[in-house]
A and B are shown apart, each in its own frame.
Chain A
């Protein structure tokens, strides 16, 4: 089993739609969880950290389910500019190094 797995995608949604991504991780000892956004041929940029209680940042909501070892990202009212690849990241072992999922591609269409 891969350490971090994500929805295969791609997701094609119209503007204004709500879209959700899931990500599962295998290391039950992981403590830090993140969603990154990566545009084509660019470096990943931190979208948001994921906290146990769940957290929201504008149109973006992240949830963590430790029992089932998955995290999710919900994007409401999708914008064209949300088109990108979304990477789930989980810390390796006890340090700060990250394991990334393959990413889920999102295309928001007019």
Chain B
């Protein structure tokens, strides 16, 4: 099956710093990638839809200036958590949909962020 990687797998940072998370589709091109966030014992919540070559579409309540998304190529989307605070500590997971149609989403292994 299709493989999606994320880097880093976990990160610990100080409050106020920015953290960049990469999501790569390794063996397929992804015109669309999605970023989700999951708090402990909660469901995955869609944060934004990342479209290659255009601006991301953010879900209601997600600050676009805080969570910067760049989808510069068909295999890479990045999420930057700017000026991170402890309440941003969460599990961030990306998923990718192969271009050319098809609804199956392939999830990355996730990035666990802890902001001190």
Q: Which residues of A contact B (CB under 8 A)?
A: 4, 32, 41-46, 49, 87, 91-92, 95-103
From A42, A98, A101, contact of B105 by CB (8 A): A98
* Complex contact B103–A32 (CB within 8 A): yes
Task: Write the nearest CB–CB distance from A49 to chain B, whole angstroms.
Answer: 8
User: Is A91 a contact partner of B43 (Cβ separation < 8 A)?
Assistant: no
Interface residues on chain B, size class: 20 to 34
Contact, CB under 8 Å: B93 / A101: no
Q: Are B49 and A97 in contact (CB under 8 A)?
A: yes
Question: Which 8 pairs show the lowest CB-CB distances between chains A and B?
Answer: A43-B107, A102-B43, A100-B44, A100-B43, A43-B110, A32-B103, A96-B97, A43-B109
B46, A99: Cβ atoms under 8 Å?
Answer: yes
Within 8 A of A (CB), among B35-90: 36, 42-46, 49
User: For residue B109, which residues in chain A have a CB less than 8 angstroms away from its CB?
Assistant: 42-43
Question: What residues of B have a CB within 8 angstroms of the CB of A43 in the complex?
Answer: 93, 107-110
Q: Within the complex, which residue of B43, B44, B49, B107 is in contact with A95, where a contact is CB–CB below 8 Å?
A: B49
Cβ-defined partner of B32 (8 Å) among A96, A100, A102: A96
Q: How far is the CA of A100 from the CA of B43 in the complex (A)?
A: 6
List 13 additional contacts besides A41-B112, A45-B107; criterion CB under 8 Å: A4-B43, A43-B93, A43-B107, A44-B44, A96-B32, A96-B105, A97-B34, A97-B46, A97-B49, A98-B34, A98-B44, A100-B44, A100-B45
